[in-house]
Structure formats: C-alpha cells, structure tokens
Amino acid sequence: MNTSSSKANPYTLMFGKLPNQFISRTSQADLITGTFMADPPNQQVYIITGIHGSGKTVLLTEAARFFRKQKGWIVIDLSSEDDMIQSLASQLTSDTTLSRLFRSAKINLSFLGLGIELQGESPVTSLQTALTRMFESLKKNHKKVLITVDEAANNTYMRKFASLFQILARQDLPVFLLMTGLYEQIYELQNEKSLTFLYRAPKIHLSPLSVSTMAANYKKNLPLDIDSALELARLTKGYSFAFQVFGYYVYQEKAFNEEAVTLAQQYLEENAYEKIWSELSQKDREVTYAIAQSKDGKIQNIRSVLKMDSFQFTPYRTRLIRKGIINGDTHGYVYFTLPLFEKYVLANYGLYY
C-alpha cells in the first residue's frame, strides 16, 4: 500500500480494465462507434485482434462505455464460456424496461423460466424464435443492442451464438457485435463453413500505440526530461502492456535506470511472454529463435540459419505477423514487435521440451 506521503503509482500492472494513463486509439475507436451509429449502419460486426497485452479488452471496454451512454443503446456482455444464447435472452429480459416492452409485444417467454408469462399467448418454442421476436420489438421501439464478446473461442457456444447473430443481422434487426480474440481463435472460427460472415467481418488489428504520445505521458508523470521520456517510450515499441509496466517501474524506482528496466522486463516475461511463447508451435519457436539470433533482422540471413528457402519461410513470416509477434513492413526484414522479446527467446529456447 502507498503511504500518505507517496502518491499512488499512475501506471497499472493489471490486465483487462481501463487504465488511468490511457493512450487513446482514436481512429480505431471512432471507426467502431461511427460505423455502428450510422443510419443505416454499413457494418454490424467488428472483430478486434492482437497479441496478448496489445489492448483488446481495453478498446472493447472503451467502446462499450461509449455505447452505454448513448440513448437507445443497450450493451450486453457475453462470455464464450457460457451458453451465450441463453445468457443473451436472460439479460434482455432481466432489464425491467425491456421486459415491459416484451410483455406489451405479447412475447411469451415462460419456457425460459424467467417469470414472464402472458395468458392466452402460445409460448415460443425456441430461443431463436423468442430472440427474433424480442429484437423485432426492440426495433419498433428504436432500441439497439451491442453485444460484446471478449476472448472469443471456437467452441459450440460461440458457433451457435454466431450463427444466431448472423440470422438476426440478416433480418436487419438492431443487433451489433464487437468481439475480441487472438488471431488463432478468430482464424479458426471464421473458417467454420456456417460462419462465413465472420470471414468477411472487418477486423481491427491493434497497432502499436503512438510513441510520441507515450513520451509526453511519461514526461508528465515521471521524473524524466523529454529525451529520456522519449527513450523510454521507444523502448516499449508501442506495446500497450509495456507502456504500463515500464511506466510503473520507473515511477517506483524514481529513475529510468537498469533496476527499473530489469524489473519491467521480468514482469513482461512472467505475465505476457511466457504465455505467448507457450502458444507457439515447435516450428514457430525455431523460426522465432532464428529471428532472435539475428542482429539486423535481415530475412536472407535468418533463412540461411534455418536452412529454408523463401518459399518455406514465407508461411512462418505471415503467421508470426498475423499473431502480432513480428513486423514485416520493411521489405526483406522482420522485427519483433515486443520489447526485449529477443532476450526472452534467447534465454528460453530449448527449455520447454
């Protein structure tokens, strides 16, 4: 705990909640809100992807917060670990205003066991029919529903929910979906034959945070001049989690010194890199290791270490870029997107199997 003489650290080591020190992703947030708010909307789905710690949950939370404040919007959070369709129905009906609407629309939901019964109405026999009727009555009442799903998984709950969503959206019902997931999960899900709309759904791939904005933030909160603030910001490579972790330890140590960097590195490794590494295949690790050994990121040299020709190497390059581990913007080169990741890889390659 902080004593009364020391102010609370402005940076956070926590995942999944809105941080106090926040670097806005204005263009990506505006894209989501602008598109969903348009009348008629030209998209009803957005999928946010990015590596662990890139800020998916934070962006989702920021967008959900925006819509909660908009008149006529209802935001419902669903988890792919539960029966999503059941949960959607029960969350909609547990809202007193909405359940009044459904009653007056004479939707008999008694089979849900949610205590809504109407005499004389034949009960709807499937949840899908019930939800269709509910959304029709929401539409009549100018209400819109944003459903958020953080960490979509390719499981039965998710597939059933996605196919229901597809049916509702096709009928021009006011339902919107904002979903996050790791590249692998989204890739698997969108390749399900029945879920082609996800394949076409626009993806927001989280790019690095602005280094200059981060530097200005560091300068404001930390005992650093502009040059050191910029140096610290550059060290994070724009990785969201690293922005908090470096800020946190430099604040704690009251200096941008070796101790602070070591503590930050250790924290990043234990709380992000271990997980990222454990999710890589053996072959991806081999390629990652070769990249870590390379001094300049030149693909030609990396390939010769791996004894791969360009045809063999390209699929690995593509996949590691999609996962958000490397950046391939410079032709002929690849670079890690995560700060000090090469150190982690060099130290850990070969230990886990």
Question: Which stretches of the chain bind ligand ATP, using CB under 6 A?
Answer: 12, 14-16, 19, 22-23, 25, 50, 52-58, 209, 240-241, 243-244
Q: Which does 243 bind (CB under 5 to 8 A by kind): Mg ion, ligand ATP, none?
A: ligand ATP
Least Å distance, CB 274 to ligand ATP, is 12
Q: Closest distance between Mg ion and the C-beta of residue 160, in Å?
A: 23
Considering the complex, what minimum distance in angstroms separates the CB of residue 50 from ligand ATP?
A: 5
Segment 96-99 long-range contacts (CB within 8 Å, at least 24 positions apart):
98/74, 98/134, 98/138, 98/143
55 binds, among ligand ATP, Mg ion, none (CB under 5 to 8 A by kind): ligand ATP
Nearer to ligand ATP, 12 or 228 (CB): 12
User: Is 244 an interacting residue with respect to Mg ion (CB under 5 A)?
Assistant: no
Q: Could you tell me the end-to-end alpha-carbon distance of the chain, in angstroms, rounded to an integer?
A: 40
Least separation in angstroms between CB 249 and ligand ATP: 13
Question: Which of Mg ion, ligand ATP, none has residue 19 at its interface (CB below 5 to 8 Å by kind)?
Answer: ligand ATP
Q: Where are the alpha helices (DSSP H) in the chain?
A: 26-37, 56-69, 84-94, 96-104, 127-140, 156-170, 183-190, 196-200, 211-221, 226-235, 240-253, 258-268, 274-278, 282-293, 299-306, 310-323, 341-348
Q: 25 vs 303, which CB is nearer to ligand ATP?
A: 25
Is 240 near Mg ion (CB under 5 A)? no
* CA separation, residue 172 to residues 44, 45, 169, 342 (Å): 10, 13, 5, 49
Residue 236 interface partner, choices Mg ion, ligand ATP, none, CB cut-off 5-8 Å depending on type = none
The site string for Mg ion over 28-67 (x = CB under 5 A, - otherwise) reads ----------------------------xx----------
Where along the sequence are the contacts to Mg ion (CB under 5 A)? 56-57
